[in-house]
Amino acid sequence: MLQNAWFSSLVLWGETYAVNLAWSLAVLVMHMLITRFALPRIEKGVGQSKLKAPASKKAQHTIRLITSVLTISLLLIVWGIDFGGLLVISTSLITLTGVALFATWSLLSSVTSYFVLLFHTSFRRGNFIRVIDGDNYIEGYIADVNLFNTRLITDDRETVVYPNNLILTRPTIINPRSRWRVIGKTADRFPGEDAE
């Protein structure tokens, strides 16, 4: 008798929330498809860019985190959770934390640039690049691409950490024909002048 009552209440609950259950199933299937097809493409892109294994793991963890947060958010919306007040509080806390800890506007753009650099074949590990920033420049070999910055090794064996978003927004010469002096002013250089 108790089992029949439990089963009938379960069936009644299923009939009441059939639309929510169908949408929840669709969201979960979408989550599984995205993680099943996005992660192998990231691994393939990282493999082609000759970056280190930690770069691949960081990208996989970031993709998993983003898809999980979106999936949980969609499930909460399907089941009728109101995000109005929660959204205001969470964005305010994230903004304050971002300003307090990092004090830079380019944090999110550096993370976005990280994914662009992962799939851009010109920015492979070992390529020599020259980044021109106004009258200044810096050049070196790409040693590693991290979530927020790219590590360059100069000819003098110095390590330069350069933000990812600046590499994408500044003119960058990949494998230039002649090398300059690693760091300096472009106004000192004239066309055809050999490297010192």
Dihedral of the alpha carbons of 95, 100, 102, 107, in degrees to the nearest 10: 10
3-state secondary structure of 138: strand
Q: Domain segments of the chain: what residues? A: 2-81, 121-188
pTM of the complete model: 0.52
What per-residue confidence (pLDDT) applies to 103? 47
Q: Inter-axis angle of helices 18-48 and 107-119, to 10 degrees?
A: 60
- Per-residue pLDDT at 26: 92
Please classify residue 119 by burial: count the beta carbons closer than 10 Å to its beta carbon, then call 0-12 exposed, 13-18 middle and 19+ buried: middle
pLDDT in tens, the chain (196 residues): 667 777 788 778 778 888 888 888 999 998 888 888 877 777 676 666 666 667 667 777 777 777 888 888 888 888 877 666 666 766 776 666 555 455 445 567 777 788 888 777 788 888 899 988 888 888 899 998 888 889 999 888 899 999 888 888 888 888 887 777 667 776 555 455 554 4
CA distance 27 to 31: 6
Indicate the class that CATH gives domain 121-188.
mainly beta
Residue 196 pLDDT: 46
Phi, psi (rounded to 5 degrees) for 182 = 75, -60
pLDDT tens for each residue of 52-88? 667 667 777 777 777 888 888 888 888 877 666 666 7
Q: What are the φ and ψ backbone dihedral angles of 170, each rounded to 5 degrees?
A: -100, 150
pLDDT at 182: 65
Q: What's the sign of the alpha-carbon dihedral 132, 137, 139, 142?
A: negative
Which pLDDT belongs to residue 195? 47
